[in-house]
A and B are shown apart, each in its own frame.
Chain A
Amino acid sequence: MTRVRIPTGAFYKMENQENKEKIQETKKEESQTTDKNITHKKTFGHFHDKYYKFLLLIPISFLIFSFIYISIFYSNHNDFFRKDISLTGGTSATIYGEFNVNDLKQELSGKLEDVNVREIYDIVTKEQKAVIIETKTSGEETKKVLENYLGYELNDNNSSFEFSGSALSQSFYRQLLLAIFFAFVLMAIVVFILFRTFIPSSAVIISAFADILMTLVSVNLLGIRVSNAGIVAFLMLIGYSVDTDILLTNRVLKRSGEDSLNKRIFGAFKTGMTMTVAALVAVVSALIVVKSFSAVLSQIFTIISIGLVFDIFNTWVTNVSILKWYLERKQKEKRE
């Protein structure tokens, strides 16, 4: 292969509108490499050119399913997800020592409202360290019931109690939903300022929204009771899911005339996948470590990992398809 070699520094100074063609030529020559990899990419490129609009049907059907599911869920539960006691109000008691979780649950279920019992154990030795009892009953009442059952006084040498009144928790819940709403709106505004074009900006926002909605549906399907930390995780998801979309839109939109559209998309895909996979691996491995210990952190990590998986899908199917459609239509209009 022959290559036109120009010192990069000098070339940089020359780079302007007139030289764009020259860049194209250089690039063309470069891309003529008879590499197997490239042919694979090309066939996939052809496939993608042909079917990307149809690919969009997958996220659309997912979204329709999600909307229907959430509407049904909402009419049944009067809410978007199952809330744990940090959002409904109630008591979470941690009692140190070894207990049989099932016995405890059976024994307490008649005396406390809506009981849920979990254990905390050492990840290495698997030795049980404590049990967490969650109930809608008030703190004082729960303490009495537990002391009666256990036969000893509970103090801060053998237990922890966390109680939130129901009015307060519900007010917290409304505020957190509001915070998510505002966060989303502010994010959308920044995205519009960044790209200043309607459809590409909307594509980013739609992908982020789809991400959150699909994660929410999964959380409900898994039967997870969301805590206030869980809502914070959804908030984190806004930031995480937008990252790759911004990368994609920036590379594709602001660098037209350097590479072919497919090449730009594929370049962004390589970077974006590295980002998401790295984040996913980090979050999942952290989740494995904290799972036995912290309900707060494990819920945050669970929600983020689900969200990251959907982010891969929504960035590289939903967002890419909308963006490609938009650019090809624009090109067509130009030609006409």
Chain B
Amino acid sequence: MKLTWKIWFLIIVLFFSVLSIFNLSALFQKGVLITSVDSNSSAFEQGLRQGQIIIGIDGKPIESLDDFSKAFHGKYSSELNESIKTIITTKQSEIILFSKDAPKITVSEIHKTNIKTGLDLSGGSRALVQAQDKELTSGEIDDLVAVTRNRFNVYGISDIKVLPVSDLSGNHFMLIEIAGATPKDLENLISEQGKFEAKIRNKSVFIGGKKDITSVCRNDATCAGIETCQDSGNGYFCNFRFSVYLSESAAGKHAEITKDLEIDKTNSEYLSEKLDLYLDDKLVDSLFISKDLKGRVTTQIQISGSGAGQTRDDAYNSAKQNMNKLQTILITGSLPYKLEIVKLDTISPLLGKDFSKSILYAGIVALLSVSIIIFIRYKKIRSSIFLLITSISEVIIILGVASFIKWDLDLLSIAGILATIGTGIDQQIIILDEAKQTKFLSIKERMKRAFTIVLGAYFTGLVSLIPLYWAGAGLLKGFAITTIIGITAGVLITRPAFADIVKRIEE
């Protein structure tokens, strides 16, 4: 059979879809993937990081999770009270650990594909957060999102998404998604804004909230911005500064504490103690205190800092980033509303595998039963097989695009894929039947007719999906996305190719 350009096009798209689905570098890689490393552990200090691949422990090759747990089995028993040596070989390096406990890392199998499943299949937690009794503007939501991101960083929770979302009724939410295990005190963590405290010598100077910090200057060029950028000979650095307004009482406290401080001997511009910034009782930053602030009651203090980079732009952006980070820390606890969790899902990863398996069975059973119907109706093995191949290639294209745009496939996305198979087969039946019909028209003309019907069906299907994209804070848009990808790929790629195949068969 001669391959037309439309069929070639399908083959090429399929090829790229497969490339996008499979993680080529990991396909033949043996070992286990590190999914998390406790940031306070010796493993972290020695350089083990999330995303690295362990290929050996104590000289033994590690090829599976089983090997990994066997390697540590019985090695660290509680009776022994001495440090034990462990050699961990990763793809990049060899790390030697001495500790009393097993290294605080979690691992998983290496992902052979780029297909990501949603929370309802892979487990994890998801929360939608709103302000209590207050409609937040999108600007306020952005602040909340920034503050929350900072806090999660402090807690060392890494595989997390915090996003502002809005819905059809114009409500704004903060959406938090955490893949994998659910943090223990998640509810408290997201239902509160967090606690900010600035201390000098472990004495509290001011805390987050309007009582102490009346405002933090942001987005106002007169009191916040990046000032000078300089060439340091080895790249650039830029300085930023912004004002923070304190209440009288906080300013008084500040004067009271700084009064007794001495001027730093090594750097005479500053005082000997620093202003320590704490987020949820964890130190996140320390700032030098200028010597002229010593003992002075001032309600306006200025915070400055810098950012460096290879180019002027890099330095500018880095300074801006550092400034934003400090600003968000300072507004933590000052947001003038209480938070309310309006939706909280914590989903165990336990059933996910069984679930995916049953969905795969459902897909296979559906395709097989359809092919039986098609064969009964047309009694042509070749057309039926091509119809089946076309449908399967549609699924491959959807998965390829989903992997490419990093879309997490949740249950509704999968329902969307199944819906696409359905409409796809329907449209192929139209093509097959038009090919058989009215023999006095050329096959080309017949295919043209088939496509007017197919396009009509495509557009009605497409427009009916669009409203779903926004409804329900986007939690249901997975269905719309996979279906739109599927039917569009169908009309543009697979259906034309199928029509050409049918043409060849008919001729």
| B-binding residues in A (CB < 8 A) | 6, 8-9, 11-12, 15, 23, 26-27, 94, 96, 120, 122-123, 129-130, 139-140, 155-165, 167-168, 171-172, 174-176, 178-180, 182-184, 186-187, 189-191, 194, 228-229, 232, 235-236, 238-240, 242-243, 246-247, 250-251, 254, 258-259, 267, 270-271, 274-275, 277-279, 281-283, 285-286, 288-290, 292-294, 296-297, 300
* Cβ–Cβ contact B467 & A168, under 8 A: no
Contact between A278 and B479, CB atoms less than 8 A apart: no
Within B355-374, which residues are at the interface with A (CB < 8 Å)?
Answer: 355, 358-359, 361-363, 365-370, 372-374
B346 within 8 A of partner (CB): yes
Distance between A274 CB and nearest chain B CB, rounded to angstroms: 5
Let me know if B231 is at the binding interface, CB within 8 A.
Answer: no
B100 to chain A, nearest CB (A): 26
**Roughly how many angstroms separate A268 CA and B381 CA in the complex, as a whole number?**
23
Q: Which of B347, B348, B366 contacts A283 (CB 8 A)?
A: B366
Complex-state Cα separation, A188 to B466, whole angstroms: 14
Structural contact, A183 and B349, CB atoms closer than 8 A: no
B343 touches A163 (CB 8 A): yes
Query: Known pairs A165-B343, A236-B419, A242-B457. 12 more at Cβ < 8 A?
Result: A158-B348, A160-B346, A172-B475, A176-B471, A182-B466, A194-B459, A243-B457, A278-B370, A278-B425, A294-B358, A294-B359, A297-B411
The docked-state distance in angstroms from the alpha carbon of A157 to that of B465 is 36
Query: B448: shortest Cβ distance to chain A, in Å?
Result: 11
Nearest chain-A residue to B437 (Cβ)?
Answer: A267
Q: Determine if A274 and B348 form an interchain contact, defined as CB atoms under 8 angstroms apart.
A: no
User: Does B39 sit within 8 A of A, measured CB to CB?
Assistant: no
- B contact residues, total (Cβ < 8 Å): 85
Can you list the 3 inter-chain pairs with the closest CB atoms, starting with the nearest?
Answer: A186-B463, A183-B464, A179-B467
Question: Which residues of chain B (456-505) have a CB below 8 Å from chain A?
Answer: 456-457, 459-461, 463-468, 470-473, 475-476, 479
A-B contact pairs, 24 of them (CB 8 A): A12-B444, A26-B440, A94-B348, A96-B351, A130-B351, A157-B348, A160-B351, A164-B342, A167-B342, A178-B471, A179-B468, A179-B470, A189-B463, A190-B463, A194-B456, A243-B423, A251-B453, A271-B430, A278-B429, A282-B421, A288-B365, A294-B358, A294-B359, A296-B120
Asked if A157 and B423 make an inter-chain contact with CB atoms under 8 angstroms apart, the answer reads no
Give the docked Cα–Cα distance between A285 and B383 (Å): 22
Question: Total contacts A to B, CB within 8 angstroms?
Answer: 249
Q: Confirm or deny: B187 has a beta carbon within 8 angstroms of a beta carbon on chain A.
A: yes
B169: interface (CB < 8 Å)? yes
Instruction: Say yes or no: B343 contacts A171, CB within 8 Å.
Output: no
Task: Report Cα–Cα, A286/B360, bound state, in Å.
Answer: 10
When C-beta atoms are compared, the residue in chain A nearest to B391 turns out to be: A282
Pairwise interchain contact B370-A282, C-beta atoms closer than 8 A: yes
Contacts of B134 in A (CB 8 A): none
Interface residues of B in 325-356 (CB under 8 A from A): 340-351, 354-355
CA distance A275 to B181 in the complex (A): 44
